[in-house]
Every structure is written in C-alpha cells, then in structure tokens.
Structure 1
Amino acid sequence: MNMLAIYVHPNHQSLSHAFLREVLRGSEENENVTETRVLDLYEEGFDPVLVFNEKKRRRDMHADPQLSRHRELLLWADKIVFVYPIWWGRPPAMLMGFIDRMFASNFAYRDKGGMLPEGLLKGRSVVCISVMKGPTGYLQYWLGNAHRILMRKALFNYVGIQKVKFFEFGNMESPKGKHERKLDKIYRYFRAVAA
C-alpha cells in the first residue's frame, strides 16, 4: 500500500505535527505499507487561491501544469491521510483551497449528466486526523457533524472514495487533553492498518 500524508499546519512544533510524526512512525513499522510520502502544504508554499479568467478556465483545471506533481501523488496513493487542525469549526483555508484546486472535474470526477458524477478516485481510502481546542463533541453536537458531512459526503464520496475514517481530537490545548494517549492511538492505528 502506498500512503500519502497531507499535512496542513504552518507550525512544525504544533500538536498536529506530533500526530503526523506518529502516522509516519506507525506506518514505518507496518508491513502493509510499501512507501509513505508527505505533502506539507505550508512548507512547500502551496497556493490555495483558485483563479479563473480568460487564460485559466475552469474546464482546464484538471490539466493545470502547476499541479501535475500533486495529481501524480494523489493517483499514486492507495491511502490518503490528512492531518490538520479544526479552526472555526472547519478545516483550514489552506486545505479547502487544496481541495478546490486539486479535486477538479476530469481528474477527481466526471460529470455524466445525472445527479451524481462518476468518481475517478475509486479504490482509495482516506483518514482524516484533526485536532481542536474545544471538546470533541463540539463538532458532532453543536455543529451537527458538519465537518464529517463536508469531508465524507460533499468531497470524498463525490469523487469515488467510500472508505473514510475520522480521528477528531478535542481539548487539545488543555493540560488534561490526554495527548500521549491520543498520539499513541494514532501510532497503533497506522502500525496495523491495511488498505
């Protein structure tokens, strides 16, 4: 299994980065994982701004030469792992901009005239690891599970990815946030996970 970890946080001293390290540590010890690559959106200076004009047309997004390496990575991966914080009840704008630019028609999906498109990223699985200051139940109960609905239904299912797992860790700025236990949970999951 080829695994792509997409890290979305501007600080390598953050708790999000600690979770990324546990993803990598666990996957290194997992015989099911052939290779793991990391795409660090902030470090590489990924431009999340979606632009359409007379030179850049929406229908040509799937072939944007600036994003060819990113498309190759997404196609290479059997499992895509997103590691990001929850800010204002949703993923960071950097991640949403990545999604806007990368999950384009004729790359991630193909319109076929009906209500739902043909998902072109079938056969892959996704894991979303997110951390937040507030309690974990905040997303589920206060925001009506908007985060999971956005990521699973509006994005991944739409492009053909049916297997989506979430780890949502709350109270992460509290000294009682059980950080070590949560980090160990991620390590153990990736040490054993299969496709």
Structure 2
Amino acid sequence: MAVSVILAHPRPGSFNHALAGVVCETLADLGVEVWFHDLCAEGFEALLPAAEIPRDAPLPPLIASHCREAAAAEGFVIVHPNWWGMPPAVLVGWVDRVMRPGLAYEFLEGDGGEGVPRGLLAARAAVVLNTSNTAAQREREVFGDPLERIWKDCVFGLCGVADVRRRMFETLVTSSSGQRRGWLEEASALTAAAFGPA
C-alpha cells in the first residue's frame, strides 16, 4: 500500500509540519509506502495554465508525476491550515492541476459535463488534518465548516473516496505544548485507524 501525504504550509517548523511528520512516521511504522510532498518547499506552482485544462493535455513532468501518484495511491493524508475557510492557494492549485478529469473523475457517456461525475480514484480512505485559530463551534455555527464540505463532498467524495476522516485542531494560537503533543498523538491514531490492518 502507498499513501500520498500532502503538506501545504509555507513556514518550516510549523505545527502543520509536525503533523505531517508524525503521519509519515506512523505510516512507515505500519509498513505503508509514503509519498510525501511539502508543496511549498517544492515550489509547486498553483496556477492552472489554460493549456492544461483539456483532458488529454500534455503535462509538465512534475504535474504528470503528481498525477501518477494520485491515481495509484491507496490513501491520502492532507495537512493544511484553515485560511479564510479554505486551504492555502498552493493546495487549491494542487487540486486544480492534479485531480484531473480522466484521472480523478469522469462524466458518463452522453454527459457533456453538466451531470454528476463518477469518481475514479483508487484510494480507500483520505484523512484531512487542519489547524485553525477559529473555535470549532464558531466554525460550524457562523461559517458552516466549509473545509468539511470542500474535502468530503467537493473533492474526495466527488472523486470516489467514500471514507473521508477530518480533524481540525483548534485553537492553535492559544494552545499549550501539552495540547500539541496530545494532538500529534491523536493524528497518529487517526492515521493508524484509517490505514492500518483491517
């Protein structure tokens, strides 16, 4: 089994980096092959060029490599902060450029793109770990928890991944070192539950 771990945080040493690190360690301890990408460190270009939009477009080598991994991955772990109720731009760009028609989803014969696509990803599960400075209750009651809808319904659900587990760690800015240690343990346990032996 191989799991794609995607980190989107620009500051080395962030708690998001710590989360990604414990996820990778947990997966390795389970004997799972890890495909790790720190999008900011890699300089992933978020902008989707018009030339890449067609289904059969030739892709730059880096994007083609990400696409091959996404198609083959048996699981995903996405780690990012909550910025304006959205993932950071670099991660939105990763979705735009990698979750392509013909790879992540397709429309059925006779559907010109107006219907509901069929998901194509082989992944059995996805885990999304977010950090936030907004309290969970406010996120739900005031904003409607948009990250839950984005990842569960608009990305992974649409692309055929039914088992989507998400945990938001909050409130990061006021958290203690003890809380953060506990959150890292929780992230490890969530990862093991999603990708460990059935």
Where 1:107 maps in the other structure, the secondary structure is coil
Shift of 1:79: 0.9
Q: Deviations over 1:4-53 (max 9, x none)?
A: 110111112101001111112222222xx43112011111111000121x
Q: Is the 8 A contact 2:127 2:191 kept in 1?
A: no
Structure 1 residue 180: deviation in Å?
Answer: 1.4
Distance 1:149 1:110 in 2: 20
Give the equivalent residue in structure 1 for 2:190.
189
> Aligned partners of 1:187, 1:21: CA distance in 2, in Å?
10
- State the TM-score, normalizing by the size of structure 2: 0.87
What is the CA-CA distance between 1:171 and the residue it aligns to?
0.6
Deviation of 1:63 (Å)? 4.3
Whether contact under 8 Å (1:22, 1:183) holds in the other structure is yes
Paired residues in the alignment total: 190
Q: Which residue of 1 aligns with 2:130?
A: 130
Moved more, 117-126 or 95-104: 117-126
Taking the aligned partners of 1:105 and 1:17, their CA distance within structure 2 comes to 30
Cα pair 1:62 1:107 within 8 Å, conserved: no
| Among 46, 59, 63, the residue aligned to 1:64 | 59
Q: Greater helix percent: which structure? A: 2
Aligned to 2:27: 27
**What secondary structure sits across from 2:85 in the alignment?**
coil
Q: CA RMSD in A?
A: 1.9
Shift in CA distance, 136/176, structure 1 to aligned 2, threshold 3 Å: farther
Q: Which residue of 2 aligns with 1:119?
A: 119
After the TM superposition, list the runs of 4 or more consecutive aligned residues in structure 1 that deviate by more than 6 angstroms.
none
Q: Go from structure 1 to structure 2 and tell me whether the alpha carbon gap of 1:154 and 1:175 turns closer, same or farther (over 3 Å shift).
A: closer
The alignment's TM-score, normalised by the length of structure 1, stands at 0.88
Specify which structure has the bigger relative contact order, considering alpha-carbon pairs within 8 angstroms and separated by 6 or more residues: 1
Q: Hey, what's the Cα distance between the residues in 2 that align with 1:185 and 1:79?
A: 18
1:62 shift after superposition: 5.8
Map 1:5-154 onto structure 2 (within 5 A). Answer: 5-30=5-30, 33-52=31-50, 56=51, 58-60=53-55, 63-66=58-61, 67-112=63-108, 113=111, 115-154=115-154
Range that drifts further, 81-90 or 173-182? 173-182
Query: 5+ residue gaps in structure 2?
Result: none
Unaligned runs of 5+ in 1: none
| Separation (CA, whole Å) in 1 of partners of 2:91 and 2:12 | 16
